[in-house]
């Protein structure tokens, strides 16, 4: 159920969740639904979060975050990125060691630049149009860095990148490296140290 939660979340489920939230945080629900965002738009944001294993328990923070940014975008994928930033502390918590340090794999700036250049805007949103051979080279290098980090003390590294490319990189790696978390720098809460354990370069 947890694996397929994104597909199981119906619009009726979202309505019930919002009704429950209304009992404790009526102001945020009334401010956002339905005048700012529709039930369907909120459903798609929650589905995007669940698809990456992000808990939607803090629904108040999610609705508030995407409601505040609704005047900038109605794209569910982009709205989900704003929600992730609000949930950053909870997202990174499972990957912290006892010293509250996040072990991260980062990208060589040239690779991140290539990803940005390969992002294509369409009427249905953005998608990554990277040349297959280049994408495969990035995946191979990332797999190598991930395996190397995991073999040293059983670390659970995350791929750390800019918010601009995070969701596109996640889609790129989700088939080859489904257990690798992809986080943006904007999701790193105060008090968390970041230790780079690998740099992806090709």
Reported as a pLDDT band with limits 50, 70 and 90, residue 109 is: very high
pLDDT tens by residue, 129-145: 999 999 999 999 999 99
Contact 176, 143 (CB under 8 A): yes
pLDDT score recorded for residue 149: 85
Mean pLDDT over each residue of the chain, to the nearest integer: 92
pLDDT tens by residue, 26-38: 999 999 998 899 9
pLDDT score recorded for residue 73: 86
pTM above 0.75, yes or no: yes
Reported as a pLDDT band with limits 50, 70 and 90, residue 154 is: low
Length of the chain: 202
Residues 6+ apart with CB under 8 A from 202: 108, 111, 134, 137, 138, 141
């Amino acid at each position: 159920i947890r694996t397929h939660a994104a597909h199981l979340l119906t619009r009726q489920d979202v309505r019930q969740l919002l009704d429950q939230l209304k009992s404790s945080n009526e102001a945020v629900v009334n401010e956002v639904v339905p005048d700012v965002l529709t039930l369907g738009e909120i459903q798609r944001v929650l589905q995007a979060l669940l698809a990456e294993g992000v808990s939607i328990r803090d629904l108040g923070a999610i609705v508030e975050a995407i409601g505040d940014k609704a005047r900038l975008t109605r794209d569910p994928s982009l709205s989900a990125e704003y929600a992730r930033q609000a949930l950053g502390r909870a997202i990174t918590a499972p990957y912290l060691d006892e010293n509250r340090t996040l072990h991260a794999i980062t990208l060589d700036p040239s690779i991140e630049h290539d990803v940005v250049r390969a992002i294509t805007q369409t009427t249905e949103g953005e998608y990554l149009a990277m040349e297959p051979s280049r994408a495969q080279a990035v995946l191979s290098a990332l797999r190598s860095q991930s395996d190397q980090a995991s073999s040293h003390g059983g670390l659970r590294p995350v791929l750390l990148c800019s918010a601009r490319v995070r969701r596109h990189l996640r889609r790129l790696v989700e088939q080859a490296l489904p257990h690798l978390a992809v986080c943006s720098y904007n999701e790193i809460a105060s008090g968390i140290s970041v230790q780079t354990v690998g740099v992806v370069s090709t």
